[in-house]
Structure 1
Amino acid sequence: MDKRIILQPPSLREKMISITPYLDGLKLGDYQDKLVHLYQTDSHLNQSVPASIRESVEWLLRQVNCYYSNRIEGNPTHPKELLKIQAPQTQPINNLPATRSKALQELLAHLEVQLRLKKRQTSADEITTQDFIKELHRSFYQGLPEDQLVVRNQDGEIALDEQGSPLLVVPGEYRKHLVIVGGHEPPPARELTSYMDWLQRSFTLSKIHGTNRVIAAASLHHRLAWIHPFLDGNGRVIRLLTDCYMRHSGFGGYGLWSITRGFARDTKAYYNALAQADKVRQGMTDGRGTLSDGGLAYFIKYFIDTALDQISYFSELLEPRKLNLRIDIYFEMRAKGALPAAPDEELPLLKLAARDIYKYLLDRGPQTKSDICAYLGKSEQSLRATFKQMESERLINISKDKYYKASLSTHVIEYLFPQLW
């Protein structure tokens, strides 16, 4: 989205905030029923996906979030590039070599933040604090080289500070300049702390209950975008924060589905919905704050519809019977040499025993080689070549304690999860 940077003098004046934080669910009419359906569908998905494949699916969803969140920001990197350079998901992502493209480094930095969030135990009330939001921003930018911290205006020219030097994003610090984003003028820098204090007070999860938490998640998403606290990186931070907020709002299956994919599938609709909530109040019947309650309701409904669309898509994708059928088809076609390979990869014949190994590991979770062989009624010697090939193709990986686990290779993802990208 277009952005202009404007220098401004500092001020110690405290700002009184007059903005409706979020709407009561009763004002959304039949969307209350949609919210109940959203929770029910999430519960069903959460219970239907076995623990043995949950880790692999959540790993895949981190790649999906990474790809789509950065695509919204104009990053053209195809997910295949992201998947190919990664070690198996049991290993951490290493430092970002300078030889990788800037676009790819952004994706890897975003992925690294998601991994840190997965490992970190956060409380529901912590995620709306200024420290946490600043840490999300810092985590994304701290691993990037300085040339990727340079801020550019809407015309593509480098923005300059008061001394005429290139203006840089400071990881984890609020902007010190006024910005114009498209047709929206966010609050001046001198008022950001007041607005962020208001945001924390308004959206603390322990004070919000029931389906109102989804309404608050949607409202938080817009209100933080409207405040635009950082010089750059706001969109990525907001979507990461929304994921955290949804996880703490009673969605046990969040991580098996993601709303970010829905935002990116139609960015025009996403930006239009945000713009609706940017509108000022339209008369006495449009709330009491400075921003339009009707515009906020539009964005909340868009948010709920998008969430329902995405949870329906992933529920269909992960439905056990259909997933098993796609697994059967994939391995049967591999055994016949009937699947085409990508131009830059080899796809040799793979014995049908690989299907039985893969399905057994998906069903039972990590197993030793001897346990797998005993289940299949075959000797380790007869399956040695199949194990070796599956490991080289990243269809399986082996832990330090010699347990095998099913994995998702770049190639198998395309067939088991059609239209994911």
Structure 2
Amino acid sequence: MTDLTYGLAPWMPSDPSRELAGKAYQLAQRSAALGGLPPATRIALQDMLRTVNTYYSNLIEGQSTHPVEVDRAVRAGEQTHTPGVMISLALQEAQQTVAARAEASHHENPTDIEFIRRIHQLIFEKVPETDRLVRNGPNDAPVVVEPGALRTTDVQVGRHVAIGHGDLEAALHAFSDAYRPDGPSLRGDQGLIAAAAAHHRLAFLHPFVDGNGRVARLFSGLHIDRVLEQPAIWSLSRGLARARQTYYSRLGDADAPRQGDHDGRGPRSERALYAFCDFFLNACVDQVDYMADVLSIDGYKRRVEYLVRQASEQALPGVPKLDRGAEGVLKAVFIEGELTRAEAGQRSGYKERMGRQVVSELLKEGLLVSSNQRGPVRPRFPATYLDYLFPKMAGPSN
């Protein structure tokens, strides 16, 4: 192949009006504004958002196992019997593992081919082989998806004929070099535009037999974190899933070849890449704004009041009874991030013994978490309570 971009150019859309740069700047500024929460609250939100990302990434693929269903299956010890639960848990664990690895090694390049392969491996390595069988076409024999293995066959997805498998590894190296976030020209606003463009180009390459969408979304979340220099407290997959048809449409449009002399210089359409990046950044900004709204202290307090009042009267289906003293504890731990057990008990408004009982109840229900039996308590946001604390975060379960 003589094209050293392997059909992927242009790598970036031109932005003469700087509209994309303006949206990228908004994204960076508004995302940074979410970082003022206490570290323990931020960590709890990141844990919760892994569940949310998983739900919406799977939903985009047509798999709708709700976080509440996953939680129930785990509590009942039935997670290995339900494919939807298994892929959800695998994707959550993959997010946690690669995020921890990326945070521990700030010099690791998320666009590196081995990093991308590792994402795929982590998602699929615990999924049984029987649930990793796919067919490229209705008349084709089933193929096993090997965790982390690049495809060794040529594929067509809809109208899109992916790059030949013989050129795939070289194309991924070109992709890595073009989008590496430590590149001097891909910092700040340009880095976020590059993350948007890289999402399409990775999907266009279709590196794996199956699982490319989930890999691309997990990869893009990490890519954005690296550009922002902190983990995002919002869900990329939620933003894409809320506009699923437009997402697929813009992805497909950006596959198109260059449309005449006024459509950039590479083999792919620059206008279509611009439109995809515009959509992608809009989806991100929408999610940052949503999180800014649901994380407002006053709004959160009101929702805690409603949750505890209704749960104390056993008026919420599927939600266990809570003591009214839980209200003060849940408000305080969200705002302060971490409390000693004595402090948490005091925030219940009760005397010591009753305060301890409220804290124990909240630990049992998973609304508080602690590293040991006597250690301080921190917030946690279980799936059962998700949409009461953060409206429309994942939608109602069945």
Query: What TM-score do the two structures reach when normalised by structure 2?
Result: 0.90
Please say which of residues 138-147 and 361-370 is displaced more in the overlay: 361-370
Distance 1:177 1:20 in 2: 23
For the 8 Å contact 1:51–1:365, the answer to whether it is kept is yes
Paired AA for residue 416 in structure 1? L
Q: What is the RMSD of the two structures over their aligned residues, measured on CA atoms?
A: 2.3
> Residue by residue, what CA displacement relative to the aligned partner does 1:91-146 show, whole Å, maximum 9, x if unpaired?
xxxxx967421121111111110111232124355211111111111111111111
Partner deviation per Cα, 1:181-213 (whole Å, 9 max, x = no partner): 011001111110121111011111121223111
CA deviations 1:341-368 (Å, max 9, x no partner) are 23xxx633x3321111222222333333
Distance 1:30 1:16, change over 3 A: closer
Give 3-state SS (helix, strand or coil) of 2:159's partner. coil
1:315 CA drift (Å): 1.0
Give the Å deviation of 1:68. Answer: 0.6
Query: Mind listing any 5+ residue stretches in structure 2 that lack a counterpart?
Result: none
1:7-42 residue CA offsets vs partner (Å, 9 max, x unmatched): xxxxxx786325324335633543322222222111
Q: Distance in 2 between matches of 1:213 and 1:360?
A: 37
Aligned residue number for residue 390 of structure 1? 362
Equivalenced residue count is: 387
Matches of 1:234 and 1:179, distance apart in 2: 12
Range moving further from structure 2, 228-237 or 71-80: 71-80
Once the two structures are superposed, the pairs formed by residues 27-38 of structure 1 within 5 Å of their partners are 27=16, 29-38=18-27
Among 231, 237, 254, the alignment partner of 1:260 is 237
Q: Determine the structure 1 residue equivalent to 2:70.
A: 82
User: 2:87 aligned with 1:106, yes or no?
Assistant: yes
Say if 2:254 and 2:272, in contact at 8 Å, map to a contact too.
Answer: yes
Q: What is the Cα deviation at residue 390 of structure 1?
A: 2.2
Cα distance in 1, alignment partners of residues 347 and 337 from structure 2:
13
Q: In structure 2, how many angstroms separate the alpha carbons of the residues matched to 1:234 and 1:105?
A: 18
Name the aligned partner's letter for residue 369 of structure 1: R
2:29 equivalent in structure 1: 40
Question: 1-side partners of 2:335 and 2:369: how far apart?
Answer: 16
Q: Cα–Cα, structure 1 residues 82 and 251, in superposed 2: closer, same or farther, change >3 Å?
A: farther
- Correspondence for 1:10: none
Name 1:168's counterpart in structure 2.
144
8 Å Cα contact 1:39/1:251 also seen in 2: no
Q: Percent identity?
A: 28
Check conservation: 2:337, 2:378, Cα contact below 8 A: yes
Which among 185, 188, 211 is matched to residue 210 of structure 1? 188
| 1:296-322 C-alpha deviation (Å, 9 max, x unpaired) | 111011111111111111111111221
Aligned 1:85-164 pairs, distance under 5 A: 85-86=73-74, 99-120=80-101, 121-123=104-106, 125-155=108-138, 159-160=140-141
Is the alpha carbon distance of 1:28 and 1:128 closer, same or farther for their aligned partners in structure 2, counting shifts above 3 Å?
A: farther
AA aligned opposite 2:97: R
With over 3 angstroms needed to count, the CA separation of the structure-2 counterparts of 1:52 and 1:25, relative to structure 1, is farther
Distance 1:34 1:99 in 2: 43
Higher mean Cα deviation, 200-209 or 395-404? 395-404
| Aligned: 1:187 with 2:163 | yes
2:347 and 2:133 map into 1 onto residues whose CA distance is 57
Aligned residue number for residue 227 of structure 1: 205
Greater CA radius of gyration, 1 or 2? 1
**Which structure 1 segments of 5+ residues have no match?**
1-12, 88-95, 161-165
Conserved 8 A contact 1:126-1:132: yes
Aligned 1:329-348 pairs, distance under 5 A = 329-335=306-312, 337=313, 339-342=315-318, 347-348=320-321
Partner amino acid, structure 2, of 1:192: L
How far 1:376 moved relative to its partner? 5.7
13-22 vs 49-58, greater mean Cα deviation:
13-22
1:267 maps to amino acid? R
Quote the Cα distance in structure 2 between the aligned partners of 1:311 and 1:199. Answer: 28
Distance in 1 between the 2:357 and 2:208 partners?
53
The code of the aligned residue for 2:191 comes to R
Aligned to 1:409: 382
Aligned to 1:90: none
**So what's the TM-score if we normalise by structure 1?**
0.85
